[in-house]
Amino acid sequence: MESPELVALLAGRKVAVLTGAGLSTDSGIPDYRGPDSPPSNPMTIRQFTSDPAFRQRYWARNHVGWRHMDETQPNAGHRALAELERCGVVTGVITQNVDLLHTKAGSRNVVNLHGTYARVACLGCGYTTSRAALAEQLEALNPGFIERAEDVGGIAVAPDADAAVADTASFRYVDCPSCGGMLKPDIVYFGENVPKRVVAQAYELVDQAEALLVAGSSLTVFSGYRFVRHAVSLGIPVAIVNRGPTRGDALANVKVDGGCSELLTLLAGELARSALRR
């Protein structure tokens, strides 16, 4: 699968990259909205903050899901973008994913737009801890819970480290040890705003780029789509690689319908050779 238009648009340019869940499907994390995605009903911030039963359900499912995400490895698409950064082609990655796979692949300049699964923060006082440290406390409170959940069947993990777990009613979770407030994964939930400083970092990446490449995002959520609109407003060309249509197709200079791993690997080879010839 080749796309000469894609190569021609990006060759010789400094490229900022915006990635979504479609980039991580080849690592075993399902997409929310891809053509073959399973039905998903992610928790909203209103649900999480307003009802202890929702928090109990979330922490039970996350207690299982975060471990699987932690063990997930980057795929060829992540590695291709990291290689393009090393070659000086990619200036940085803005990712809507919380899976840290760009960092695991070796990308250094990463804006985690929606946070990461690996940290937990208090909504009251701002106390933070690692998800691994919290896991030890939750395991002590719920011995054998993970084993029982896995015995029921295979674990399906969503892009936000949620997992399909049937029995959550007995799960015990903890509040903030500093102020007693609500602990929440450092993930931007549906209905929640991305922190302004993170948005500013992402805009700065686009401002300094000569092209914007979107990989694996349907751009349905405005938090990602705004950067495509911003690039267009600045006259910065936009390329999109995604399985299926996206909200930004009409704004793109080039749209390639296909899988990220294969296309980005081919693109990295072409652009890396182009960079070496300069």
The tens digit of pLDDT for each residue in 116-155 reads 999 999 999 999 999 999 999 999 999 988 887 776 554 5
Residue 35: per-residue pLDDT: 45
Could you give the residue ranges of the DSSP H alpha helices within the chain? 4-10, 45-50, 52-71, 76-86, 101-105, 131-141, 145-152, 196-207, 222-233, 260-277
Find out if CATH 3.40.50.20 is the number for domain 1-29+75-114+193-278. no
Q: How confident is the model at residue 273 (pLDDT cuts 50, 70, 90)?
A: confident
Q: What pTM was estimated for this model as a whole?
A: 0.91
Specify which residues 94 forms β-bridges with: 18, 111
Ramachandran angles phi, psi of 249, nearest 5°: -55, -40
**CA 127 to CA 181: how far, in whole Å?**
9
Q: Say whether 91 counts as a known binding-site residue.
A: no
**Residues 173-219 pLDDT 10s:** 999 999 999 999 999 998 899 999 999 999 999 999 999 999 999 99
Q: What per-residue string of b and e applies to 67-88 under the rule 16 or more CB within 10 Å gives b?
A: bbbeebebbbbbbbbbbbbeee
Residue 260 among known ligand-binding residues: yes
Report the pLDDT value the prediction gives residue 61, as an integer from 0 to 100: 87
Domain ranges of the chain: 1-29+75-114+193-278, 38-71+118-187
pLDDT in tens, 21-73: 999 999 988 775 444 444 456 788 999 999 999 999 899 988 988 888 899 99
Q: Is 244 annotated as a binding residue?
A: yes
Tell me how far the alpha carbon of residue 214 is from its chain's centroid: 13
CA distance 174 to 52: 11
More confident residue, 28 or 20: 20
CATH 3.30.1600 fits domain 38-71+118-187: yes
Q: Is 276 annotated as a binding residue?
A: no
Name, in order, each residue with C-beta under 8 angstroms of 53's C-beta and a sequence gap of 6 or more.
none
Higher pLDDT, 160 or 41: 41
pLDDT recorded at residue 37:
43
pLDDT surpasses 80 at 159: no
Instruction: Report, as residue numbers or ranges, the catalytic residues.
Output: 114
**Averaged pLDDT, 251-267:** 96
